[in-house]
Amino acid sequence: MVLQPLFILCIGFALNDQYTIDVSWVLVFLFWPRMQRKVWNDFRILLLASVLLYVLPKFETWRYYYPIKTPEFLEYAGQLFGSFLQVRIDRFSSGPYHGFLTAIFRGDKSNISTETASTFRHLGMSHMLAVSGFHIGFWVLLMRPLFGWMRGYWSFRLGLFLQFSFLLVYSFTVGAGSSVVRAVWSFGLARYSSLRKDNIPSLHWPMVVALGHYFVDPTAPHSLSFQLSYAAVFAILIALKGSSLEHFTVDFSTARSTSKWLDRLLLPIQISLAAWSATLPIVQHHFGGASPYFLVGNLAAVPLLTVGIWMSVPFILLGDAMPNVAVLWANQIFDWVFFVIQELEKLVLKWG
């Protein structure tokens, strides 16, 4: 398979200057021992490596002088949708709820207080404030009633096109960071592949998107968000390999899921452990450590905050049609939720 060595070479080369990765280690990954090796396959990989190591420096220099620019209409559409969301959020939320929803839906964390940011960091759930697959999954599930009835040959394709178009616009609403770009394109490719009934492993989609991201912008792998996002998703997919829930983490589809209730119950633990373990070296390098209480935060606090996200849906969709008493209740419920989370933070820090 050419995709895997191509991915390793391109991303490894891009990270070489930042982490001084020795090319010999890259070759170790390329020629990782496996059963029934074929000389021709190894020769093709070696030839590919030689050509790429010669071409990539020239490509990065060429891309610097000839960058790919984002279509202006996508940025404009993203700004319009962002303004719409912000108006709705401003109307019905206040205090911590307002700051939380602005970060979740707009990717703007300027209204998050220092105390709130500290709580998220101590409980190992700062990923909730960085728009990624978790948030794209929210929009996909929210749109399911609109497109779920489209099961015909052409109607299904039309529904997928409309969903992907919306998510693409939304990615620009939140700044088109590496995490959200990875999630949107992985969803689109994986769902289309599922439509065609292709038997392609889910791990291939983030590799394809990462390569595309690199060829569009060779500096992207140097960003911390790129490294954390892809390290986490690769670890999750490797941990879930062979599971019936493997594809859910990419295209948010449960159609192929035959998992038992225990597997679904343990899914958040598997995801949290895999993501935390894979990103720990990067976090350790840049921040000097990571929260050891990530399981407490992801298993107890994240579900409560997820309720707060879904609680905002009627207000975003219906706007002023929602009664004032509902607005009051929503803010009070979130204040209570956040109070519980802060008490949880005090408890785990006391135990620590």
pLDDT in tens, 99-113: 999 999 999 998 888
Residue 37 falls inside a structural domain: yes
Name the residue range of residue 37's domain. 3-65
Question: Which residue in the block uniquely carries the two structure tokens 């990923």?
Answer: 127
Residue 323 DSSP SS3: coil
Instruction: Look at residue 21 and tell me whether its pLDDT is greater than 80.
Output: no
Would you state the structure tokens that stand for residue 279, as one six-digit string? 């990103």
Residue 121 falls inside a structural domain: no
Average pLDDT of the chain to the nearest whole number: 84
More confident residue, 240 or 16: 240
Residue 29 falls inside a structural domain: yes
Q: What is the pLDDT of residue 162?
A: 94
- What is the pLDDT confidence band of residue 77, given thresholds at 50, 70 and 90? very high
Burial class of residue 140 (count of CB atoms within 10 Å of its CB; 0-12, 13-18, 19+): buried
Q: What is the pLDDT of residue 164?
A: 95
* pLDDT tens, position by position, 24-66: 666 666 665 554 557 677 777 778 778 888 898 999 999 999 9
Q: Taking residues 122-140, what's their average pLDDT? A: 87
More confident residue, 33 or 170: 170
Please answer whether residues 342 and 96 qualify as being in contact, where contact means their C-beta atoms are separated by less than 8 angstroms.
Answer: no
Q: How far is CA 118 from CA 113, 300, 301, 349, in A?
A: 9, 17, 14, 12
d(CA 250, CA 297): 23
Residue 185 falls inside a structural domain: no
**pTM for this predicted structure:** 0.86
Please answer whether residues 199 and 131 qualify as being in contact, where contact means their C-beta atoms are separated by less than 8 angstroms.
Answer: no
d(CA 252, CA 246): 10
d(CA 31, CA 8): 11
Ranking 39-48, 221-230, 306-315, 324-333 by mean pLDDT, the lowest is 39-48
Question: Which residue in the block uniquely carries the two structure tokens 């452990």?
Answer: 273
Cα angle 31-33-34, degrees, rounded to a multiple of 5: 115
Residue 162 falls inside a structural domain: no
Q: What is the pLDDT of residue 5?
A: 76
Q: What is the pLDDT of residue 101?
A: 94
Longest C-alpha distance within the chain, in Å?
A: 72
Residue 31 falls inside a structural domain: yes
Instruction: Look at residue 17 and tell me whether its pLDDT is greater than 60.
Output: yes
Instruction: Look at residue 196 and tell me whether its pLDDT is greater than 50.
Output: yes
Nearest to 201 by CA among 156, 249, 159: 249
More confident residue, 22 or 295: 295
Alpha helix (H) residue ranges in the chain = 3-14, 16-19, 23-30, 39-65, 72-92, 95-106, 114-122, 133-147, 153-173, 178-195, 204-216, 224-239, 248-251, 261-287, 294-296, 302-311, 313-318, 324-351
Determine the angle formed by the axes of helices 95-106 and 114-122, rounding to 10 degrees.
70
Residue 11 falls inside a structural domain: yes
Q: What is the pLDDT of residue 37?
A: 59
- Cα Rg of the chain, angstroms: 22
Ranking 21-25, 46-50, 134-138, 191-195 by mean pLDDT, the lowest is 21-25
Q: What is the pLDDT of residue 35?
A: 47
* pLDDT tens, position by position, 152-169: 878 888 999 999 999 999
Instruction: Look at residue 96 and tell me whether its pLDDT is greater than 50.
Output: yes
Residue 9 falls inside a structural domain: yes
Q: What is the pLDDT of residue 92?
A: 93
* pLDDT tens, position by position, 222-265: 888 899 999 999 988 888 887 767 777 777 775 554 566 666 66
Residue 321 DSSP SS3: helix
Structural domain count of the chain: 1
